[in-house]
Amino acid sequence: MTTKLYRNARIYTPVMGGSSARRGTEQGEITVWLSGSILVSGGRIKSVGEEASVSKNLSPADVDMEIDLGGAAVVPGFVDPHTHACFAALREGEFSMRLAGRSYLDILKAGGGILSSVRKVRGTSEDELYAFSKKVLSSTLSYGTTTIEIKSGYGLDTEAELKMLRAIARVGRETPQSVVPTFMGAHAVPEEYKTKPDDYAALMCTEMLPAIARSGLAKFCDIFCEDGVFDVAQSRRILSRAKELGFRLKIHADEVNDLGGAALAGELGAVSAEHLLAASDAGIDAMANAGVVADLLPATAYSLKKPFARARKMIERGVPVALATDLNPGSCFCQSMPFVISLAIMGMNMTPEEALTGATLNAAWSIGMEKEVGSLEAGKLADFVVLDGETPAVLAYASGVRPILSVWKRGERVA
């Protein structure tokens, strides 16, 4: 097993504390080692801290390789906990329609949007889906994403959903990134069920969810709870069945309209609720009480030209906030966690420290990866990003560029 010593780093990391994601004032607590070192063996962190203490009991024979990080800021590898990064074609034409004034939900209602991605994915082979997704993931890797969640949800029948999940599993085996798969068969009501959405909800419960559970290809189940998509009653029914079958839950909640999705996330004990642009005070409190992580997607608000989610309110009320790209061909084709962090700081008034926790440790909690990634601590994977600056604030300060010198996964340079 190779042992490497990374030295001369300004290390900024949130640290685990207790048995839940970082909330309230904890969200902004970052540990800093200005002359920091990371000792890595077999891809995992053996110890991390000030250089003097990391190398105290080390003899030269203990270390196979020393790497000087040049005094740059080093942060945990970014964890992107919400993406739809498995699809078959872009939807740039639809973006132009939105710029010209059509709304996202109108386009979906007319059979476009998610449903146009569904038509494409159904007609695309598993190999092609794999290749498309792999290409998108290598772009995210260059922006520092070392762990990523990917949802299915452009198949909307058992076979096509399984095809997506197999492609996602293969990407997970063949990219350096850690990939967490989510089943999202309830992403939209498919065209063939347009006039009978309750029948599709029934199919989800009796056929699709059991088949996906048997396949073992997804850890989480997610649903789009929105006007004209799945209402609260249908969402409750589908997610309750998913929970029974052993899935952990996520909900696209209150993205465009306040339907009560955030409150449903609290009621069902979901791991996270996503988007939340229109979440009510009551919904936010229900999430805080149940310890649901808010996965906020400011690049989607930006791309939809909507007001950002109320991150400050959520932090004040004790909701742990995570940040994600939402990378998808429709509402937000964003591949850059630094851009998301920048929007969180500039648009949602999060501090750089809060945003860093959101893009790393809280994001890891929201996809059940908190024991493996999300902070630079002994025992975790040696996943980190070397920034082109002295502090994490450079992620917002250096706008429109890639403020990254290098990206490391399991102690290996990957970008």
The site for ligand NIG (CB under 6 A) is made up of 84, 113-114, 117, 224, 252, 255, 300, 326, 328-331
* 3-state secondary structure at position 281: helix
User: In whole angstroms, how close is the CB of 329 to ligand NIG at the nearest point?
Assistant: 5
Burial profile 55-64: b = 16 or more Cβ within 10 angstroms, e = fewer: beeeeeeebe
Q: ∠ CA 212-218-219 to the nearest 5 degrees?
A: 125
Residues numbered 314-333 forming contacts with Fe ion, rule: CB under 5 A: 326
Instruction: Between 49 and 330, name the residue whose CB sits nearer to ligand NIG.
Output: 330
Q: Minimum distance between the CB of residue 47 and ligand NIG, rounded to whole angstroms?
A: 39
Per CB under 5 A, 157 contacts Fe ion = no
Q: Quick one: 114 or 284, whose CB is closer to ligand NIG?
A: 114
Query: Long-range contacts for 307-310 (Cβ within 8 Å, ≥24 apart)?
Result: 307/277, 308/277, 308/343, 308/347, 308/348, 309/275, 309/276, 309/277, 309/279, 309/348, 310/276, 310/279, 310/284, 310/348
Residue 80 touches Fe ion, criterion: CB under 5 A: no
List the single partner that 329 binds among ligand NIG, Fe ion, none, CB under 5 to 8 Å by kind: ligand NIG
Please give the radius of gyration of the chain, using alpha carbons only, rounded to the nearest integer.
21
Binding site partner of 170, from ligand NIG, Fe ion, none, Cβ cut-off 5-8 A by kind = none
What is the C-alpha to C-alpha distance for residues 114 and 315, in angstroms, rounded to an integer? 31
| Partner from ligand NIG, Fe ion, none contacting 117, C-beta within 5 to 8 A by type | ligand NIG
325: how many CB neighbours lie within 10 A of its CB?
29
Minimum gap (Å) between residue 226 Cβ and ligand NIG: 7
Residues 6 or more apart in contact with residue 127 via CB below 8 angstroms = none
Query: 220, 180 in Cβ contact below 8 A?
Result: yes
Q: Is 231 one of the binding residues for Fe ion (CB under 5 A)?
A: no
Closest separation in Å from C-beta 278 to ligand NIG: 12
254 binds, among ligand NIG, Fe ion, none (CB under 5 to 8 A by kind): none
331 binding partner (options Fe ion, ligand NIG, none; Cβ < 5 to 8 Å by kind): ligand NIG
Smallest distance, Fe ion to C-beta of residue 291, A: 21
298 binding partner (options ligand NIG, Fe ion, none; Cβ < 5 to 8 Å by kind): none
Residue 294 CB coordination number (10 Å): 33
CB nearest Fe ion: which residue?
326
Q: Between 78 and 104, whose beta carbon lies closer to Fe ion?
A: 104
Instruction: Please tell me the distance from the alpha carbon of residue 128 to that of residue 253, in angstroms, as a whole number.
Output: 31
Nearer to ligand NIG, 224 or 247 (CB): 224
Nearer to Fe ion, 217 or 332 (CB): 332
Amino acid at 212: I
| C-beta of 232 vs 414, nearer to ligand NIG | 232
Q: How far apart are CA 233 and CA 239, in angstroms?
A: 10
13 vs 303, beta carbon nearer ligand NIG: 303
Query: Which pair of structure tokens corresponds to residue 177?
Result: 């990134």
Closer by beta carbon to Fe ion, 156 or else 381: 156
Name residue, tokens 């839940």: 20
Q: Which residues bind Fe ion (CB under 5 A)?
A: 326
